[in-house]
Amino acid sequence: MWLKGSLHIHTTNSEGKLSPEQAYRWYRGKNYDFIAITDHNLITKLDTAPEKDFIMIDNSVELSNFGTNLHMAGIGLKNNKLIDSKDYQEVIDYIIENEGLAIINHPNWMWGARLNQLLKLKNYHGMEIFNAFIRQEHTGSPFALEKWDHLLTRGNKIWGFAVDDLHAPYKLLGCWNNWNLGWIMVDAKKLSKKAILDSIKKGDFYSSTGVELIEYHIDGNKFFVYSHNGEEVIFIGDHGKILKVIDGKKGEIEIDREYKYIRCEVRSRDGIAFTQPVFTDSL
């Protein structure tokens, strides 16, 4: 089943304007299936018990005490104790040891992360390839696709995440324009914290800013993608090279094993869906 989720949300416990309970109700009311509240350097708890049909991935946090604009999310840790370290690799190792997701936050915020810095880090699960807060604040590019492709080309097998990074929701011209802009869709066996985290760690999800996929899969030597509202399908390989472009809601490509990976973007006037990369050495 496809489950919609948001993994970067701030509340009044750090820099946000919504209480934890307001954020919970806010996303639940927009047909999300799960969220992770990631306040800065602390674990946020709900005062009320979560409901069975909506998952709060507890023990989640954005660690931001490194002295730079490159932050790290730990999602779904097995305990609520935080590591006190300014060493990125130490923090990643701690998150992994505690069975959480290690995600690099907003690598393009105020430049955020240098490529050489990212290349030295090991074993993190992924990075934010779209961050809506950066778009709202005009503090860098909300997309980090160039860095993602560079890391993938250099052999880093990491996933790409789209997030709201919600701080303060507001309306402009009658529309909410800074939330529900970036999310992930997880193909999980059931609605549970463990099932969701297990699927994300395996890369069984896609990221979106508005396009909804029906499915994407490998069949033999071909990569297939189907969408509900796509208008253009773009297959991308090493160095961000465009391998094939197809008009319409669906597309396929024969996998060329000369490339280390192939990923797909499905674009439309509604936004973009980003599949996770298919690594050819694992086929």
Specify the number of domains making up the chain.
2
- What domain range is 265 assigned to? 210-283
51-58 own/partner pairs: CB under 8 Å, 24+ apart: 53/191, 54/24, 54/28, 55/5, 55/191, 55/192, 55/193, 55/196, 56/24, 57/5, 57/7, 57/193, 57/196, 57/197, 58/193
pLDDT at position 170 = 64
Q: What is the mean pLDDT of each run of 10 residues along the chain (283 residues)?
A: 97 91 92 97 87 93 90 96 93 98 94 86 98 84 95 97 88 58 96 97 98 96 98 98 98 97 98 98 92
> Of 166, 187, 207, which residue sits at a domain end?
207
Q: What is the CATH number of the domain that holds 244?
A: 2.60.40.730
Regarding whether 93 and 58 lie in a shared domain, the answer is yes
Q: What is the CATH number of the domain that holds 158?
A: 3.20.20.140
pLDDT at position 113 = 82
pTM: 0.96
pLDDT at position 67 = 83
